[in-house]
Amino acid sequence: MEDDRGVAIFDPQSSIFVGKLSPRPVFFATFPKVVAMLQYIFKRLLHMIPLLLGVSLLTFLLMAMSPGNYFTSLQQNPQISPDTIARLKAQFHLDRPWYVQYVFWLKNVASGNFGYSMAYKISATSLIVARLWNTFLLSFFALLIAWGIAIPFGIWAAVKKDSWVDHACSFVAFVGLSVPDVLLSLLALWFAAASGWFPVGGAESPLHDFMSPSQQFWDRAHHLILPAVVLAASDLAGIMRRMRSCLLDTLRAEYVTAARARGLGEGWVVWKHALRNAINPLLTIFGYSLAALLSGAFIVENIMAWPGLGRLTMEAFFAKDSYLVVDCVVMATALLVIGNFIADILLAWSDPRIRLK
């Protein structure tokens, strides 16, 4: 065999094989792929900008339609003169039509300035950045936990189809799909309070500011565990079921039968042939799973007092700080859109058909 191959490569007569088997440097082999990927990334980036603009316009329009704003409550306060309110309104362009406000807002956001939170009396940028980071942390670890558990168990259930493992997994998945986030968060709160192993809500203990950096780190981690697990649990079931069904589909495929017929070990067949192809549909649900995750995070944050974007949105909503609500919605959407963008790039990297489209 090796002789045959060597001849095929170096024999000038059989030029047909030369092109196919010549050991080209890796760089040249991947170069077109990288170019195609960059083109694809650029295209997707261009697609993202109008989307985010549209979302901000939509939420701004909704805000403009909403009755009353932060000043409505200020006006009822006899200690604040109408002049002050008029001046404040002019300062924030609230006396202008909504599309003018939108342009001002857009200009500011483009330069990284989210304005001033009237309810919190601090710059909205610092508020949003801190909350965004918290939501990101929570979602990221929930994602890690969910995928880290769901993928191996999904594979296990598919490989051992109809065994007790499979049945146990599908039972857990069914229950997991049906337990609402609200209930799960409440149970987690109850568990934390009853066992005392975890802090009851919040992101850091009251003494956080007096701790050493390593203590601070563990304090944050300690607070993060329970909300992240709750959030992961609601996401886990769907991914596990999807992983199982994708792998089962590919295990039925003819190329898997062919691989088995060639005498490959079952482990090799699953890992190298079936799983590689089952990953693509999973990457497509990555985007959906992100959307569910952010909505789930909204609930978990509000119940477990995790100071993230969702909680900020509710606080801003109750304080009638409409600008802050818009900022939060746009930032959450940005988080989702960027997550989808990453999922698309991963998919394009693993499936050439996507990037050629």
Partner 1 sequence: METAAPISAAEAKAPLSPWQLFWQRLKRRRIAMAGGVILIFLYAVAIFGGFVAPYRYDRIDNNSFFHPPIWPRVQGFHLVVPRYEPGNGTFAYRLVLNDTKPLHFFVRGGKYELFGFIPTSVHLFGTGDDNYPVFLFGADQFGRDVFSRLLYGSQISLSIGVIGISISFVLGMIIGGISGYFAGLTDTLIMRLCELVMSIPALYLIISLRNTFPPGMSSAQIYAMIIVILSFIGWASMARVIRGMALSLREQQFILAARAAGATPIRVIVRHILPNTFSYVIVAATLSVPYYILGEVVLSFLGVGIQEPSASWGNMLTAAQNTDYLQHYPWLLAPGAAIFVTVLAFNFLGDGLRDAADTKSL
Residues that bind partner 1 (CB under 8 A): 51, 54-55, 58-59, 62-63, 65-68, 174-175, 177-183, 186-187, 189-190, 192-194, 200, 291, 294-295, 298-299, 302-303, 309-310, 313-314, 317, 322, 325-326, 328-329, 332-333, 336-337, 340
Write down the H helix ranges in the chain: 2-10, 15-21, 26-65, 70-75, 82-91, 98-110, 124-159, 164-178, 181-195, 213-251, 254-261, 266-268, 275-303, 309-318, 322-350, 352-356
Residue 155 vs 299, nearer CB to partner 1 = 299
Q: Give me the phi and psi of 123, to 5 degrees please.
A: -65, 130
- Joined together, the tokens standing for residue 186 give 């409440």
Number of neighbours of residue 334 by Cβ within 10 angstroms: 16
Q: Could you identify the residue written with the tokens 């993928």?
A: 151
Q: Give me the phi and psi of 122, to 5 degrees please.
A: -135, 170
Residue 59 vs 277, nearer CB to partner 1 = 59
CB of 139 to partner 1, least distance (A): 10
CB of 140 to partner 1, least distance (A): 15
Q: How many CA atoms lie within 13 A of 60 on its CB side?
A: 17
Contacts of 354 (CB under 8 A, 6+ apart): 40, 344, 347, 348
Residue 270 vs 327, nearer CB to partner 1 = 327
CB of 192 to partner 1, least distance (A): 8
Residue 34 vs 187, nearer CB to partner 1 = 187
CB of 182 to partner 1, least distance (A): 6
Residue 123 vs 170, nearer CB to partner 1 = 170
CB of 98 to partner 1, least distance (A): 12
Residue 135 vs 277, nearer CB to partner 1 = 135
Residue 170 vs 216, nearer CB to partner 1 = 170
Q: How far apart are CA 239 and CA 185, in angstroms?
A: 20
Contacts of 100 (CB under 8 A, 6+ apart): 93
Q: Which of 311, 283, 316 is nearest to 297 (CA)?
A: 311
CB of 345 to partner 1, least distance (A): 17
CB of 317 to partner 1, least distance (A): 6
